[in-house]
Amino acid sequence: MTMKHALCAALLGLAAAAPAHAEAGDWLVRARAIWVSPTESSSGIEPAFPNDRVGVGGDVMPELDFTYFVTRNVGVELILGTTKHNVTGRRGLAGLGELADTWVLPPTLTAQYHFVPDGKVRPYVGVGVNYTTFYNEDASKSLNAAIGKTRVSLKDSWGLALQAGVDIDLTQKVFFNLDVKYIDMDTTAKLRTGNMINKVDVSIDPIVAGIGLGMRF
């Protein structure tokens, strides 16, 4: 091998090993599997069941997110995904099991700070806002059997989102991602049974943990 060929090979090797760091104007696209784990609490169900409570179950779903870099260190991320959650009875209503289920669409926008944009391991933190809408709410068969045919609706929610994560290079373009978020998510559920309306305030406040792959564009 000539000196020229050896130099070219060395330069190509350095380029292949270069970290997938971000520059202003770059986009990151990540695909994650997320576990949404509510840290929930509720009020009583007024007026019919003031001493009883409800709980909200977790779910695992795919999620897609997009990050745009405003500067080398500062990015703006939008996450898109939807999950389905069961609402269960507690205390006196525990015997009914599931009371209802709902789909949740929680688009979340965060401003991120990336500490070492040139590194192969790039931790970041973020803070932002979440908007959650609830759709396809359904009362369970057990609830309908216990109190009569019931329609369930949940009020949309605005709240704070906190985030921490890390990107770890696999190639120049592709990286591994770990991410966790806390979302302030509160709603009021209405249960309409004939002419009666019962209400319950629920603080869902989920921890959203994600693992996946990303690509820089």
Is pLDDT at 13 greater than 50 in this prediction?
Answer: no
Q: pLDDT-based confidence at 43, cuts 50/70/90? A: very high
Is pLDDT at 22 greater than 70 in this prediction?
Answer: no
pLDDT in tens, 161-186: 999 999 999 999 999 999 999 999 99
CATH of 3-216, one of 3.30.160.20, 2.40.160.20, 3.40.640.10, 3.40.50.300: 2.40.160.20
Distance CA 19, CA 17 (A): 6
- Average pLDDT of the chain to the nearest whole number: 91
Q: pLDDT-based confidence at 83, cuts 50/70/90? A: very high
Instruction: Look at residue 11 and give its three-state secondary structure.
Output: helix
* DSSP track, 87-142: EEEEGGGGGG-EEEEEEEE--EEEEEEES-TTSSEEEEEEEEEEEEEEEEEEE-HH
152, amino acid identity: V
Is pLDDT at 98 greater than 70 in this prediction?
Answer: yes
Is pLDDT at 16 greater than 70 in this prediction?
Answer: no
